[in-house]
Amino acid sequence: MFSDLKVFPNEKMGRTSRIRKRRVGSQRFRPLVIDSCPEFVELCKWMSANGWNATSKDCLKTKPAVFSDTGRGLMAMSNLAPNGLIVRIPKNLLITKEKAILQFPALQNFKMTTAECLTFFILISKINGLHSSYLSTLPKTFSVGGLCESQEVAVLPKVLQDKILCNQSYVVEKYQNLVVIWEKMFGPTLTLECFQWAWYCVNTRAVFYQDSDIFNMVGLENNMALAPYLDMFNHDPHVVVEAGFNKNSQCYEIRSSQKIKKHQQVFINYGPHDNQKLYLEYGFITQKNPHNVVEFGISHLFDVFPVHTVCFLPNRIALLKQLCKNGNLFYSEEGFSWNAQIALTLLSHDNSQLSRKGFSILEIIPDKYQIKVFGRKIVDALFVEFTESLNKMSLISGNTTSSFWVAKTLVKDILNVLNACVLDAE
């Protein structure tokens, strides 16, 4: 949009024209405050009636707004010093598993995780017109990876394809289990689309929260709660915040370590996630994400070490599989991960050493030369793979999902990371 502004290098700019230029530019990008939209008026009324103090002196005042780069989020209405409180939500406004069961006791008869219970809470409330002050503030659509259409998934790079397919079957399995319970409770069929909407409302917006002891079960799916209004903060990987339930105030609170300026967007930090994770779990990516990595698999190693040049002893393959677990083979701006370095060294390791009984990964010392030579080949192979994918993605036209659009920006972002590596090495 700035390119529409024609400023000629030789043109003398006086004070007035400078101010005019600044005004034109800032008007185009100025966030749109939306606190007077009916859904936010209702939300604030309902929250205030239930113990929320929106004008508390020791907490930053914020307003919902639409920002040109991140969409809907929250804007600071004053300056805040470091370690100041950015939000405080009383316990009785949190939607927890305990609360969902209190409201709909039938949920108790089924063994459900907290995420499943909260998904049901949203669906039952929606159907019965309950909690509409909160529900009407929830997004109507999502752009997470799991919502890509099958023809879109087919043109994505293999690593991303595998993750999305895995995620889709996980959500479908959840749906199939829960639809049985739903039919027992209510009768009418629950469509997969409705289930996905509620499931992603919970999973893109819930905060970490440990419910009372009776529900205390391990795992992320069990330690979550929905926090109205607080779930409007967007993510910035660079900000540092302290978030959690404060037993003294009986409120969920977030403090910002950095100072915040009036009229800035107020961000929180969802965790040290790379862009692929942000896309899969939340449906967006951020520019200059310091946690960015490019994952690869064993097949990429086999591509750079053709089978005829490496003796694929069962032991070598078993060790490689061990190194590959949990996405531990990756490249980032800092170079190859430790597991990737060991894997690259292991590929060219002596067979007699590998066949020795009791040989362990811990005995391998990274070989800088191997890592440089074969690592470069891996980066080149990934670059080709992602470029080919991007070309195929560009051929898909017509009505594509917003998930696919974000996938495209993710693939471009990964290509930038790989490109930086190639340029560094030159």
Ligand X SMILES: C[S@@+](CC[C@H](N)C(=O)[O-])C[C@H]1O[C@@H](n2cnc3c(N)ncnc32)[C@H](O)[C@@H]1O
Cα 224 to Cα 215: distance, rounded to the nearest angstrom: 11
Which one of 29-37, 70-78, 103-111, 309-317 is the stretch in contact with ligand X (CB under 6 A)? 70-78
Q: Interface with ligand X includes 136 (CB under 6 A)? A: no
Binding window for ligand X (CB under 6 A); candidates: 19-27, 67-75, 302-310, 315-323: 67-75
Q: What angle do CA 303, 309, 314 make, to 5 degrees?
A: 80
Which of 171/354 has CB closer to ligand X? 171
Which burial class, exposed, middle or buried, applies to 22 when counting CB atoms under 10 A from its CB (0-12, 13-18, 19+)?
Answer: exposed
- Please, what is the minimum distance in Å from the beta carbon of residue 106 to ligand X? 29
Cα 63 from chain centroid (whole Å): 23
Assess 72 for contact with ligand X (CB under 6 A).
Answer: yes
284: contact with ligand X by CB under 6 A:
yes
Beta bridge partners of 255: 85, 242
Stretch that binds ligand X, among 68-76, 114-122, 289-297, 387-395 (CB under 6 A): 68-76
Beta carbon nearer to ligand X, 31 or 375: 31
Percentage helix, strand, coil for the chain under 3-state DSSP, each rounded to 5: 55, 15, 35
| Sole window of 110-118, 122-130, 279-287, 297-305 interacting with ligand X (rule: CB under 6 A) | 279-287
Instruction: Give the span between the Cα atoms of 171 and 163, in whole angstroms.
Output: 12
Kindly state the smallest distance separating residue 286's Cβ from ligand X, in Å.
5
Q: How many residues does the chain have?
A: 426
Backbone angles phi, psi at 304, to 5 degrees: -85, -20
The secondary structure of residue 257, as a DSSP letter, is S
Q: Which of 70, 167, 168, 322 binds ligand X (CB under 6 A)?
A: 70
Buried-exposed string 67-89: b where 16+ CB fall within 10 A, e elsewhere: beeeeebbbbeeebeeebbbbbb
Tell whether residue 328 is a contact of ligand X (CB under 6 A): no
> What gap in Å lies between CA 261 and CA 81, rounded to an integer?
9
Strands 224-225, 335-336: pairing kind:
unpaired
Closest CB 32 distance from ligand X, rounded Å: 13
Binding-residue pattern over the window 89 to 128 for ligand X, x denoting contact by CB under 6 A: ----------------------------------------
Helix (H) / strand (E) element for 124: namely: helix 114-128
Q: Is 199 exposed, middle or buried (0-12, 13-18, 19+ CB in 10 A)?
A: buried
- Is residue 266 part of the contact set for ligand X (CB under 6 A)? no
Binding window for ligand X (CB under 6 A); candidates: 29-37, 43-51, 64-72, 357-365 = 64-72
| Burial class, 334, CB count within 10 angstroms (exposed 0-12 / middle 13-18 / buried 19+) | exposed
Rounded to 5°, the CA angle 67-198-148 comes to 70
Alpha carbon separation from 409 to 136, 158, 296, 403 (Å, rounded): 29, 16, 19, 10
Name the minimum Å distance from CB 136 to ligand X.
12
Of the pair 176, 257, the CB lying nearest ligand X is at: 257
The answer to the question of residue 231 lying near ligand X (CB under 6 A) is yes
Rule CB under 6 A: say whether 139 interacts with ligand X: yes
In whole angstroms, the minimum distance from the beta carbon of 267 to ligand X comes to 7
How far apart are alpha carbons 205 and 214 in whole angstroms? 24
234 binds ligand X (CB under 6 A): yes
* Residue 73 near ligand X by CB under 6 A: yes
* 232 near ligand X, rule: CB under 6 A: yes
Contact between 228 and ligand X by CB under 6 A: the answer reads: no
Provide the minimum distance between the beta carbon of 72 and ligand X in the complex, in angstroms, as a whole number.
3
> What is the nearest approach in angstroms of ligand X to the Cβ of residue 66?
8
Segment near ligand X (CB under 6 A); pick from 81-89, 233-241, 256-264, 328-336: 233-241
Q: How far is the CB of 213 from ligand X (least distance, A)?
A: 27
Q: Does 274 help bind ligand X (rule: CB under 6 A)?
A: no
* Chain Cα centroid distance, residue 390: 21
Helix (H) or strand (E) holding 389: helix 368-395
Task: Write each residue from 176 to 215 as x if it is in contact with ligand X (CB under 6 A), else as -, in one continuous string.
Answer: ----------------------------xx----------
Crossing angle (nearest 10°) for helices 158-186 and 192-205: 110
Separation between Cα atoms, residue 269 and residue 290, nearest integer Å? 13
Least Å from the CB of residue 302 to ligand X:
36
Given candidates 17, 22, 29, 71, which one binds ligand X under the rule CB under 6 A? 71
Enumerate binding residues for ligand X (CB under 6 A). 70-73, 139, 204-205, 231-235, 282-284, 286
